[in-house]
Chain A
């Protein structure tokens, strides 16, 4: 919250030029690896030898596409909410505890990052299948008569996806929570606020930037999931990414697949535009 003395206009301009120069290498990488390929993808989606809208007509004309998009966004929504509910307490603990406990928590959160998504999907297969660890335990405890269908459906896909994406929720949340001044909570307590009251009125609102950052990351990453639903969905989950590969196989044209990607990208950007209008995202995120 340090306020710098208002610099002169010339000084400010020089500083901006310097900032731009510092950012230039990163911008160049983004241009080469993101902007150009996405532009190429968009161009492809309008061609199949000649210029055409056929790929888009197909997407908006056939039910399967909109069903897949609906399922993908629904799963992404569920995964985001679950990751927030599970991740918030962990982030809270990581931000409030002292060393070495906070370091230990974050280490445990980050550790699975070093395991491939494929391996983690198979691990869930071993845990959740009919003869898996979870069902055997439930059976021995006499809690179920019949093994539960925890996998080869949407549930299995959601469980594994939440697990894989949880760090993307916890890390931004923790970063935000660590920066919430404890003075505010102490001041609130000295004025007689109960712990619940302090949490709801001070801590939670101040952690909103972290919630938004984490939720955005998790939501967007879920939209692109492929291996997890393919392995754990049992054929009952068709995410948009799976449509992309199906279209390559069926139509033998990159354009047919590119169009699906473009529609997803535009859909996501549209959602952000609407959300940004409802919630002043840049102001909230800017507070950090």
Chain B
């Protein structure tokens, strides 16, 4: 009964709103994380793609898409098509049958990206980095500021209060680099060694932060002098005039990726969208709107991004070469999941 009424209501409504493009042409539902980030994408990537392909992109947002991806696929009738989510979710989703395998023959833009920026289930969409940030009040001279994780761990040479993220992602990588492992030789992570190294610094960590906003506040309020934080958080503080800086040296380059839900209603269109989303020009538009780096390195050849801006981006070739690229494949492996489960017992010790 109620369903029938609802249907009638919907029919009447769609008759009253003939301008709704939903009934015309192809469409997809795209999901990202909301906020300023999703707005920036809408301008840089989504609207240009919709125009170019003549499709309608319906948007939804979820700060944590993973549980919803699971429940949508489990219901048998997913409503989402393309999801922008941390790369690990795409890989894990692929392995658990929640995400479609991609046909890279139909994705020329994606197929041209470096192999380490893609996997059978997803392709990288944007980059951010876990970097060393510091207070310029405490370290006015960049030469005297911590420039590597070894420096961060050296409490004698670099006195000051420190904060790390209360999460194993990037933190274990940082510990290994502090212990002398080269940024390109991190994986598979030696978890024992990383935790031993973290034991060393633990008494000197004032705060283990949990949210990005908190990390920014800690540095801004002088609660800590150096911190592992996401580059966008520190650059935002600097833009507001705070005396803070960061280095891309030994940053841990992380990405979100695009993947298509298993059984998504508009798979063919979703695939077309996905390829356009990593188009070099569309990708180059993104850093003009927000402090995230394009995932497609060809974006740097488009001349869309001003040279000064390129220097600030985590995925710019010059910056990327100084950083470690996070291996989501390792973190979603059994070993990686076991490491994640050990984190709390490390924190409680």
Contacts and interface: CB of A to CB of B under 8 A. Distances in A.
B344 interface: yes
Given A64-B345, A129-B223, A131-B223, A152 B67 contact: no
Interface stretch (B125-133, B202-210, B305-313): B202-210
Contacts of B337: 250
B345 A63 contact: yes
B166 interface: yes
- Binding site of B, secondary structure by majority: helix, strand, loop or mixed? helix
A236 B208 contact: yes
A234 B206 contact: yes
A109 to B, nearest CB: 30
Contact of B348 (A131, A234, A238, A252): A238
9 contacts: A64-B345, A67-B348, A68-B348, A129-B223, A130-B221, A238-B344, A250-B341, A252-B66, A252-B67
Name the 3 nearest CB pairs between A and B, nearest first: A235-B208, A235-B166, A234-B207
Given A234-B207, A235-B209, A250-B337, 10 more contacts: A67-B348, A129-B223, A130-B222, A131-B223, A149-B206, A152-B207, A234-B206, A236-B208, A250-B341, A252-B67
A59 B172 CA distance: 25
Interface of B: 66-67, 70, 161, 166, 206-210, 214, 217, 221-223, 337, 340-341, 344-345, 347-348
A62 B207 contact: no
A60 B13 CA distance: 56
Contacts, number: 47
B208 A248 contact: no
Contacts of B166: 235
Nearest to A63: B345
A139 interface: no
A152 B162 CA distance: 12
Given A130-B221, A248-B67, A234 B344 contact: no
Contacts of A67: 348
B348 A235 contact: no
A187 B214 CA distance: 59
A235 B66 contact: no
A235 B347 contact: yes
A173 to B, nearest CB: 35
A68 B207 CA distance: 19
Contacts of A252: 66-67, 70
B66 A64 contact: no
Contacts of A125: 217
B223 A152 contact: yes
Contact of B223 (A64, A130, A235): A130
A246 interface: yes
Contacts of A231: 214
Contact of B207 (A63, A131, A230, A235): A235
Contacts of B209: 235
B208 A131 contact: no
Nearest to A152: B207
Contact of A235 (B210, B217, B222): B210
Contacts of B222: 130-131
Contacts of B66: 252
B283 to A, nearest CB: 30
Contacts of A131: 221-223
B347 A238 contact: yes
B202 to A, nearest CB: 10
Interface in A208-236: 230-231, 234-236
B207 A246 contact: no
A218 B340 CA distance: 34
B205 to A, nearest CB: 8
A125 B223 CA distance: 10
Contacts of B217: 125
Nearest to A149: B206
Nearest to B344: A64
B340 to A, nearest CB: 6
A230 B348 CA distance: 14
A234 B344 CA distance: 14
A161 to B, nearest CB: 18
Interface string A246-257: 101010100000
Contact of B206 (A62, A152, A246, A248): A152
B211 to A, nearest CB: 9
B181 to A, nearest CB: 24
A181 B102 CA distance: 79
B215 to A, nearest CB: 12
A246 B210 CA distance: 12
